[in-house]
Every structure is written in C-alpha cells, then in structure tokens.
Amino acid sequence: MSADYLDGNALAGPLAEIFTTDVSAAVGRCASCGLTGPVASLRVYGPAPGLVARCPGCNEVMLRLVRSPDAAWLDLCGTACLRIPMESAEGNSP
C-alpha cells in the first residue's frame, strides 16, 4: 500500500474558508474506533473530486469536503467530537 495521502494540515486552507478558527489544530474523536488525535494527524486523500480525511487508526472516513464554484459540502458524520482550541473567554472566571 503506497502513501498516496497527505496529512491533516492539507485541510487547513480549505476549512479556513468555512471556519473562523484553525480546525487543523483541533483534536477529533473517530466515530468508528474512538481514536482521539489532532486533525493534523488524519490521512487526507484528494483534493479532487473532494477532500476525504480518514482516521489513522482504522482508516474510516472522518471528514469529507466538496467544493463547487458556489458551495461547499462538509460531512463530519465520522467525527464524534472536535475539541477546538479557543481564545479564553472574558468573564468566565468564578
């Protein structure tokens, strides 16, 4: 099996069109096997016809992104949860 994929950093640019934070820095949990790790560690196939990001543990699809000239389709049903690092929110301290 050849390494015909890129790492999850390849998602940073395309996802920056949609999200205001850098999702490649987030930590995701695979809905299939439960492996938890940085989005940057996913195995990314594509970019055409679409980006397909797979779990490095079980190879199941965690994210798909298709971009047409006037729309983006984002499928995250293989991702159970994403922990997205945020700026600390004001006024949240006890």
Partner 1 sequence: MATFTRGFHGKRRGGDDRLPPGQYLTDDFPVLSAGPTPQILPSEWEFTVETETGQVHRRSWQELMALPSETPTVDIHCVTTWSKLDTTWQGVSLDVLLEDVETAAEYALVHSYGGYTTNLPLEDLLDGKAWIAYRYDGEELHPQHGGPARLLVPHLYFWKSAKWVRGLQLLNEDSPGFWETAGYNNYGDPWREQRYADD
Q: Which is nearer to partner 1, 70 or 90 (CB)?
A: 70
Show contacts with partner 1 in window 33-72 (CB under 8 A): 45-46, 48-50, 52, 54, 59, 61, 64, 66, 68, 71-72
The least distance separating partner 1 from the CB of residue 63, rounded to whole angstroms, comes to: 10
Q: Specify the pairing of strand 43-45 against strand 36-38.
A: unpaired
User: What CA–CA distance (Å, rounded) separates 8 from 46?
Assistant: 12
What letter does residue 78 receive in the DSSP assignment? Answer: T
User: Is 58 a binder of Zn ion (CB under 5 A)?
Assistant: yes
For the chain, counts of helices (H) and of strands (E): 1, 8
Residues that bind partner 1 (CB under 8 A): 1-2, 4-5, 45-46, 48-50, 52, 54, 59, 61, 64, 66, 68, 71-73, 75
